[in-house]
Amino acid sequence: MDLNSSPSNTPTYAISVNGTIPVSSTFAVSTTPFETPLPSNSSGDRKHIALWPGMYHSPVTTALWEARTKTFERLLDPPRDAPPQSELVTRTPSQSRTGILYNFSSDFVLREQYRDPWNDVRIGKLLEDLDALAGTISVKHCSDEDSTTRPLILVTASVDKIVLKKPITVNIDLTIVGSVIWVGHSSMEIQLEVTQSKQGDDDSDSIVLTANFIFVARDSKTGKAAPVNRLSPETAREKLLFEQAEARNNLKKRKRGGEKKDLENGEEKKLKDLLAEGRIFCDMPALADRDSILLRDTSLENSLLCQPQQRNIHGRIFGGFLMNRAFELAFSTAYAFAGLVPYFLEVDHVDFLRPVDVGDFLRLKSCVLYTELHDPDQPLINVEVVAHVTRPELRSSEVSNTFHFSFTVRPEAKAMKNGFKLRNVVPATEEEARRILERIDADNLNEFFRT
């Protein structure tokens, strides 16, 4: 099937190597949202993307996977005993650059799929799309265009940072553009920029969100780390991004290689101060500060059984789906804590510690880790979500992901509530106190690198 052709009653994707992929609603124009026709085969024995069983679908993942049909079908059914890629090639960031266009202004159904209650774009769905696009970009960079070699398995290793710079309205067209900005031995960093042009905006003002994803390559036969194609930045900006990513990677290696240091005197005092206030809540609750709350009293939990329909092309649960579910729980936690509608600011570094498989029992546990109240115009709420893969029959539970989301309160909501004030969060145990201090230190370090 030609990538510029499409089955009947489905959107057409005009695709070029480094062009923009338009995203349309998943419903045919001639039908209502409740009468979605089943796509027909376009040619021969090749199945249309919508008929591939078990793959997690959204308007964006459908567009991306349709655009990379040949590559992904090869990944689904690699040649048996095929040799690995013999020679690495050197690519430029522009060769992997890929964009997605959301026609919100003209596509009513697509707009409704992404609309939140406040007429903005649903951030959770956008996190799914960012992960899907980063995956496609990594495939572009690593492909050797040789159907006789076995393809690599490319998985999300971590999310370095996702920062929302301004609100994203659902009524204006949106574009996501990304490319590989750094490559190591078996890993690569992909940077994505979400842009939305409003009247009077210049190019820099149109960037509404930035995201950095780390992908790693595994040999599809052995499962071991596999080398990826080299990267040769060309422009001054590409070279700067490469150097910054290299510095971040070196810092992570030093942190992983170093032993856990003992608390310094100043940190030891902070730990004791945090615990002292928490112990008053536990031992003398009637005398506790009414402007504070125990960390454990801010928690929420959600559980789900991972279904086949949520898996990606490698048979594992789609990483973007996990981020979406974690975000929704974090948003609800911040909402219940503040008593006002929260406003998302950023996702801090996320490590995907272990894969999540179909049939896994996943428990998502959230809490408000700490608040920052020194800026009354933008109080901060840091929410931690920990995903546990639980196996009741084995009496085991392992952490698969830990997410940290930062929220503030919507200005229009705060203006409606006179005397609004967030409460301080205090720990009841030393383990909770250490988690709070580690997160504050990490956020301070991130702020240092940004400035």
Confidence band (pLDDT; 50, 70, 90) for 11?
Answer: very low
Q: How many angstroms separate the Cα of 96 from the Cα of each of 168, 194, 226?
A: 26, 17, 19
On the question of pLDDT at 73 being above 80, the answer is no
Measured distance CA(2)–CA(391) in Å, rounded: 45
On the question of pLDDT at 63 being above 50, the answer is yes
pLDDT in tens, 190-199: 999 999 987 6
**Which among 59, 219, 85, 56 is positioned nearest to 146, based on CA atoms?**
85
Predicted pLDDT at 249: 85
Predicted pLDDT at 8: 32
Confidence band (pLDDT; 50, 70, 90) for 260?
Answer: low
Average pLDDT in the 11-32 region?
47
Residues 348 and 446 sit within 8 Å (Cβ to Cβ): yes
On the question of pLDDT at 67 being above 80, the answer is no
Predicted pLDDT at 184: 93
**Which among 354, 365, 413 is positioned nearest to 387, based on CA atoms?**
365
Tokens of 96: 């992997």
Measured distance CA(423)–CA(82) in Å, rounded: 60
Average pLDDT, the chain: 79
Weakest-pLDDT range from 234-243, 253-262, 295-304, 320-329: 253-262
Q: Distance from CA of residue 243 to its chain's centroid? A: 23
Question: 36: how many CB neighbours lie within 10 A of its CB?
Answer: 14
Measured distance CA(330)–CA(324) in Å, rounded: 10
Measured distance CA(383)–CA(403) in Å, rounded: 8
Q: How many angstroms separate the Cα of 343 from the Cα of each of 175, 330, 381, 408?
A: 21, 11, 10, 5
Residues 6+ apart with CB under 8 A from 276: none
Tokens of 94: 């522009």
Q: How many angstroms separate the Cα of 363 from the Cα of each of 178, 301, 329, 335?
A: 32, 7, 11, 20
Predicted pLDDT at 4: 34
Weakest-pLDDT range from 168-177, 238-247, 260-269, 433-442: 260-269
Average pLDDT in the 14-33 region?
48
On the question of pLDDT at 44 being above 60, the answer is no
Q: Distance from CA of residue 387 to its chain's centroid? A: 14
Considering only residues 343 and 80, tell me which one the structure prediction assigns the higher pLDDT.
Answer: 343
Look up the pTM and report it: 0.80
Burial class (CB within 10 angstroms; exposed 0-12, middle 13-18, buried 19+) of 215: buried
Q: How many angstroms separate the Cα of 93 from the Cα of each of 140, 144, 185?
A: 10, 15, 17
Portion of the chain with pLDDT greater than 90, in percent? 39
Weakest-pLDDT range from 196-205, 304-313, 341-350: 196-205
Average pLDDT in the 53-73 region?
60
